[in-house]
Amino acid sequence: MEIKNSDRCFNRREAMKLCLSGAVILANSRRRIAAATQLGTRPNVLFIMADQYRGDCVGADGHPVIRTPNLDRIANEGVLFRNAYSSTPSCTPARSALLTGLGPWRNGMLGYGQVAERYPIEKPRVLREAGYYTFAIGKMHWSPQRGPHGFHGMLLDESSRVESVDFRSDYLSWFMSQAPNLQYDATGVGWNDYLSKAYVHDERLHPTYWTGESAVRFLNTYNRSEPFFLKVSFTRPHSPYDPPQRFMDLYRDADIPKAAVGKWAERYIPRSSDRFDIWHGDLGEEQVRRSRQGYYGSVSFIDEQVGRILEALEKRGWLEETLIVFTADHGDMTGDHHLWRKSYAYEASARIPMMLRWPSGLISAERGQRLDYPVELRDILPTFLEVASAPGAETLDGRSLLSLLRGETETWREYIDLEHDVCYDDSNHWNALTDGHFKYIFHAKDGEEQLFNLDNDPNELVDIASDAAHQSELRKWRERMVEHLAERGEEWVKNGKLALRPKSRLYSPNYPGNSFRPQNRKEIEEKYY
């Protein structure tokens, strides 16, 4: 991708506007923050997320098999957002949205690239400036890997990623201190494999347990006067699907749902390669079941750790003094439509769990709600800014989720935008829109359109884009997409029509510059995969 001088200038102007806006809002908010701190009205913030967690794999969302009693508790004592999405459903762009509260075009990441080293507004830095003690545990997936973005402290589990000769994750250092003669990845399943296998070591050595234990220890020993912002980021259920044996056994005889496969997905029947980390291929019902057995086991293992974290909060008497949010960066196809991994517009990849439990006294709202308004990862930072009485939300793309709980729904967005630049293959390159009821997908390489009625067809089995009875619906969504993309210029919309984009454009002009900026898929795979 060529970066033009005009793009750089535009980026600087936008960054300056954001910085100036943030400074004005900060000045206007200092008195409010000081008053809130003195009154002790600001809650702690506990942000828990998992990597590659499908939105339907929560018992409270109606899954027939999955066992997630602790996540169900958060939903039942709070709210479950049933139409929550990751706008750019792969690891790094999703984390950019979480960090900035911005959509893909404004945070600059249109696909799987590198999270920028610094943004004008960043979640941990803004909360730190507002008087919170900020700490992170688990997977961040940033570059540089120990770039703090405002966290006072971090304990990292970065899987196998090593981006500099002096980096070793805190989890790996801990593993080596506990088991110096064992290999941490001895289970033998790769980071993007479809295989599943029980973890071969004692489960206390598993990264999921380490993450939960580290969070519990943080809560047990926290004695500072300021409220905390704690981010707990699990590396699973992202492959390898390697839970302890007891969690594999939990689903051994379970009636695990078969893969949802639409007729339109026949193109994905052939294997994309002979390796185990394929992105498409019909592997048969038995392999799908085995993969999902390990995936579901990983989900339930995470849920158990969430339960331990909630218990630690309760023992300190902080449950009703803490805002709790659980979500994920994106989902996992696990064989649906013969697709594997992520980066697709389809529900298994783009829809994520999102639930929130608020402390007593924060707002007056019914607990146990199930809300269908379209929400996205960009909405989490504005939510935290509101409860922290911190500045900056007015400059962001996201909105505070608390406004929905207060019934302020008239001005909420009608639909959410989704997109992903080229990933795995030039054919996987798309833009989409959804309101949780319909979903429109535009494939940028060849202009193919897809339309799904999610109310009648939640598994996206029937593509109705070519159905004569739905042409007016198709036109409505196409026009919405034209309106959404028009601001980006003729590369995206030309003469009022959606333009084909056979080439990759990984970053928008709003992306802050980094020391390394990969320009194409080959460079990304060499550095990150």
Structure tokens belonging to residue 354: 């999102």
Do 324 and 46 touch, CB atoms closer than 8 A? yes
* H or E element in which residue 441 lies: strand 438-443
Residue 490: φ, ψ to 5°? -70, -20
Q: Can 91 be counted among the known catalytic residues?
A: yes
CA distances to 350, 447, 511 from 250, rounded to whole Å, are 27, 44, 45
In whole angstroms, how large is the CA radius of gyration of the chain? 22
Burial of 451 (0-12, 13-18, 19+ CB in 10 A): buried
Which residue type occupies 454?
A: L
Residue type (1 letter), 104:
P
User: Is there a contact between 108 and 96 (Cβ–Cβ < 8 Å)?
Assistant: yes
Cβ neighbour number for residue 382 with a 10 Å cutoff: 23
Q: Which helix (H) or strand (E) holds 137?
A: strand 133-138
Q: Which helix (H) or strand (E) holds 308?
A: helix 285-315
Cα 454 from Cα 435, distance rounded (Å)? 9
- Nearest C-alpha neighbor of 117 from the set 53, 73, 163, 66: 163
CA distance 321 to 44: 6
Yes or no: say if 309 and 219 are a contact pair by the CB < 8 Å rule. Answer: yes
Q: Is 327 helix (H, G, I), strand (E, B) or coil?
A: strand
Give the C-alpha separation, 291 to 156, whole Å: 27
For residues 298 and 291, give the distance between their C-alpha atoms in angstroms, rounded to a whole number.
Answer: 11
The catalytically annotated residue of 9, 57, 91, 429 is 91
Which of 141, 149, 337, 420 does the annotation list as catalytic? 141
Instruction: Yes or no: say if 423 and 505 are a contact pair by the CB < 8 Å rule.
Output: no
Selection from 242, 373, 338, 340 nearest residue 299 by Cα:
242
Tokens of 33: 């923050």
CA distance 120 to 96: 12
**Neighbouring-strand partners of residue 80:** 355, 370
19 annotated active-site: no
Contact yes or no for 219/313 (Cβ under 8 A): yes
**Distance (Å) of CA 389 to CA 124, 319, 358, 362:** 14, 20, 15, 12
The residue assigned the tokens 């966290």 is 151
Which residues carry out catalysis? 91, 141
